C-alpha cells in the first residue's frame, strides 16, 4: 500500500501539487492541535485556504487524508530503520542494535507533533494495522544478516513471526510514549528498550 492509494486522483500540475501539500500540512496541524475531533473536511479546507471542492477532488473524506498521512509516516519510519540497519556491522550485538532501532523510531515522531498523533491510528484501523505489520516484516528481512551473529534459533519464518508479535506490543508502547509528558515519555522508552532486548533474546539459542 502506498500513500497515493488513498487519493481519488493525484495532483499533476505544480499549482495543484502546492494546494494538495497545503491540505496535507493543514490536516497534520489540526490533528496535532485538536486531535481527531477537530479534523473535519471543512476545517482542513479552511486551514489550507482552499475550496471544500478542492479537498473532495483528492480525498473521499477525512479518513482518506488520515490514511494518506499514516502510510507516508510508516514508509518514512521503515526507511529510517532499514537505513540504520544497513549502516550497522552485522556482528553488532543485539543489545546494541535493538535499542538503536527504537531510538531511530522515536526520533521519527519525537520532533513532529503530527507523527505523534498518527501513532495511535495504527491501533484502531485494521487496514493501517496491516500496513504496520507489513513494515515489521520488511525490518525483519533487513535484520536477517544478524541472525547468525545473534545465534538466533529457528527458521526465518519464526523470526518473522517474532517481529510481528513484537510489533503488536511496540505499537501500544509507542502510542503511550507519544502521548506522555517528557519525564514519563523517557521512562516508557527505557521500558520499551528493555522489553525489546529481553523479548528478542527469547529467540536466541541456549537462553
Render pLDDT for 24-43 as a digit per residue (tens, 0 to 9).
999 989 988 888 889 999 99
Chain-centroid distance of CA 114 in Å reads: 11
Q: What is the pLDDT of residue 111?
A: 67
CATH 1.10.357 residue spans of the chain: 69-201
CATH 1.10.10.60 residue spans of the chain: 7-63
Residue 203 per-residue DSSP state: T
Q: What is the pLDDT of residue 207?
A: 46
The model's pLDDT over 144-174, given as tens digits with 9 standing for 90+, comes to 888 888 888 778 888 888 888 887 777 777 7
Length of the chain: 207
The model's pLDDT over 115-139, given as tens digits with 9 standing for 90+, comes to 777 776 777 788 888 888 888 889 9
Q: Which CATH architecture has domain 69-201?
A: Orthogonal Bundle (1.10)
Distance CA 23, CA 45 (A): 7
Which class is domain 7-63?
mainly alpha
Span 11-29, average pLDDT? 93
Percent of the chain with pLDDT over 90: 35
The model's pLDDT over 62-115, given as tens digits with 9 standing for 90+, comes to 999 999 998 988 888 899 999 999 999 989 999 999 999 988 888 777 767 777
Q: What is the mean pLDDT of the chain?
A: 86
pLDDT category at 53 given cuts 50, 70, 90 is very high
- Other CB atoms closer than 10 Å to residue 204's CB: what's the count? 14
Q: What is the pLDDT of residue 44?
A: 95
Write out the chain in H/E/C secondary structure: CCHHHHCCCCCCCHHHHHHHHHHHHHHHHHHHHHCHHHCCHHHHHHHHCCCHHHHHHHCCCHHHHHHHHHHHHHHHHHHHHHHHHHCCCCCCCHHHHHHHHHHHHHHHHHCCHHHHHHCCHHHHCHHHHHHHHHHHHHHHHHCCCHHHHCCECCCHHHHHHHHHHHHHHHHHHHHHHHHCCHHHHHHHHHHHHHHHHHHHHCCECCC
Residue 88 per-residue DSSP state: S
Q: What is the pLDDT of residue 196?
A: 87
Amino acid at each position: 500500500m502506498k500513500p497515493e492509494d488513498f487519493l481519488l486522483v493525484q495532483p499533476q500540475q505544480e499549482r495543484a501539487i502546492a494546494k494538495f501539500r497545503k491540505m496535507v500540512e493543514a490536516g497534520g496541524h489540526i490533528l496535532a492541535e485538536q486531535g481527531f475531533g477537530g479534523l473535519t473536511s471543512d476545517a482542513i479546507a479552511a486551514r489550507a485556504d482552499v475550496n471544500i471542492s478542492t479537498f473532495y477532488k483528492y480525498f473521499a473524506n477525512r479518513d482518506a487524508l488520515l490514511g494518506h498521512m499514516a502510510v507516508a509516516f510508516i514508509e518514512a519510519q521503515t526507511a529510517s530503520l532499514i537505513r540504520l540497519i544497513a549502516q550497522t556491522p552485522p556482528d553488532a550485538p543485539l543489545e546494541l542494535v535493538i535499542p538503536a532501532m527504537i531510538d531511530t523510531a522515536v526520533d521519527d515522531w519525537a520532533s513532529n507533533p503530527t507523527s505523534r498523533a498518527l501513532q495511535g491510528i495504527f491501533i484502531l484501523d485494521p487496514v493501517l494495522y496491516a500496513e504496520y505489520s507489513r513494515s515489521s516484516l520488511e525490518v525483519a528481512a533487513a535484520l536477517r544478516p544478524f541472525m547468525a551473529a545473534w545465534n538466533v534459533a529457528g527458521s526465518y519464518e519464526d523470526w518473522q513471526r517474532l517481529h510481528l508479535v513484537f510489533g503488536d506490543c511496540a505499537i501500544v508502547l509507542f502510542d503511550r510514549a507519544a502521548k506522555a509528558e517528557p519525564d514519563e515519555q523517557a521512562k516508557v522508552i527505557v521500558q520499551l528498550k528493555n522489553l525489546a532486548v529481553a523479548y528478542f533474546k527469547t529467540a536466541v539459542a541456549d537462553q
